[in-house]
Amino acid sequence: MVPLLRVEKVNKAFGTNHVLRDVSLDVHAGQVQCVIGPSGSGKSTLLRCVNRLEVPDSGHVYLDGQPMGYRWKGDTLREMTSSQLAVQRRQMGMVFQGFHLFPHRRVIENVIEGPVVVGGVGRATARERAMELLSKVGLADKAEAYPDSLSGGQQQRVAIARSLAMRPKLMLFDEPTSALDPELVGDVLAVMRDLADEGMTMVVVTHEMGFARDVADHVVFMDGGCVVEAGPPGHIFGAPEHERTRSFLARVL
Ligand SMILES: Nc1ncnc2c1ncn2[C@@H]1O[C@H](COP(=O)(O)OP(=O)(O)OP(=O)(O)O)[C@@H](O)[C@H]1O
């Protein structure tokens, strides 16, 4: 079966800093993969290469069998134009550590912006769907509020609803709870857990080991820009094979 997402031997350097080294992974539809590892190991860069916010130096990323950033013309691969790439990128939702909401627009406007402006969905339909999504993330009563009046955890849940409004095939989360006060982390993780239960395909860069252990189908441990070890959480957390994995887990658990 073709994986929904395939990362194939991706390399990325910033100057002399070789940040990703031959990173490969497959994510199948409905899977949750958590990427863990020490600070600076390349986790965020990997996600950014997946949705092509960064362009890999070599290697490829395939979404549903289609190479990200390229299209076939006859039997040669041609680089996409930026507007073609934007369309392709929309198939992935991305949630960052910061929430990047529009501060001067109400919560509901933040959620309907993408479908209306980019997706060409009518306002009434977009609004109805946005209200469903805000209910899903537990914030229907905040639809008319401005982002600044919400807690960080609530803003992050709005950011998740906003990504979902574009009906992505896949959600990428880059440390979505790292900027939150500890007491707000649980609500965001609960929303992500619900998404996982509903079958959303997710790649989650996280320092939340409990989430990785309990929710992931597959855990990828990165260190020094390499995938050191990957497998089911029972294997990574219960019986890691590599000393680097063991010493990382001993530090964080
Ligand atoms: N745009 C950039 N320009 C230059 N160097 C960068 C850039 N983005 C990332 N790096 C470098 O790449 C390395 C890996 O960073 P990255 O953010 O991918 O790691 P990470 O594993 O996500 O770390 P953390 O857990 O702290 O977020 C770091 O040395 C970082 O300084």
Predicted confidence band of residue 200 (pLDDT cuts 50, 70, 90): very high
Predicted confidence band of residue 1 (pLDDT cuts 50, 70, 90): confident
pLDDT given at position 4: 98
Contacts for 99 with CB less than 8 Å, ≥ 6 apart:
147, 152, 155, 156, 158, 159
Q: Is the ipTM of this complex over 0.90?
A: yes
pLDDT given at position 40: 96
Half-sphere exposure of 86 (CA within 13 A, CB side): 6
Query: Cα separation of 219 and 190, whole Å?
Result: 19
pLDDT given at position 173: 98
Angle between helices 152-164 and 123-136 (to 10 degrees): 130
> Which residues pair with residue 227 across a beta bridge?
222
Position with higher pLDDT, 117 vs 225: 225
Ligand 1 atom index nearest CA of 54? 1
Contacts for 219 with CB less than 8 Å, ≥ 6 apart:
33, 34, 35, 36, 212, 213, 230, 231, 232, 233, 236, 237
Which of 7, 10, 11, 17 for mutating ligand 1's site (highest number of atoms within 8 Å of CB)? 17
Ligand 1 atom index nearest CA of 45? 18
Could you report the per-residue pLDDT of 21-38, keeping only the tens digit for each?
Answer: 999 999 999 999 999 999
Helix (H) or strand (E) holding 26: strand 17-27
Provide mean pLDDT across the span 39-45. 97
Helix (H) or strand (E) holding 79: strand 76-79
Torsion of CA 19, 52, 210, 233, to 10 degrees: -80
pLDDT given at position 112: 96
The mean pLDDT value of the chain amounts to 96
Distance from Cα 45 to the centre of ligand 1, integer Å: 6
Query: Cα separation of 160 and 181, whole Å?
Result: 18
Q: Whose CA is nearest to atom 27 of ligand 1?
A: 39
Q: Whose CA is nearest to atom 2 of ligand 1?
A: 14
pLDDT given at position 132: 97
Residue % of the chain over a pLDDT of 70 = 100
Residue % of the chain over a pLDDT of 90 = 96
The total of other beta-carbon atoms located within 10 Å of residue 94's CB is 20
Rounded to two decimals, the pTM is: 0.96
Which of 18-29 are b and which e, b meaning 16 or more Cβ less than 10 Å from the residue's Cβ? Answer: ebbbebebbbee
Would strands 170-174 and 70-73 be described as parallel, antiparallel, or unpaired?
unpaired
Could you report the per-residue pLDDT of 56-85, keeping only the tens digit for each?
Answer: 999 999 999 999 999 988 999 899 999 999
Provide mean pLDDT across the span 122-146. 97
As for ligand 1, residues whose beta carbon falls within 6 Å of it are: 14, 17, 19, 37, 39-45
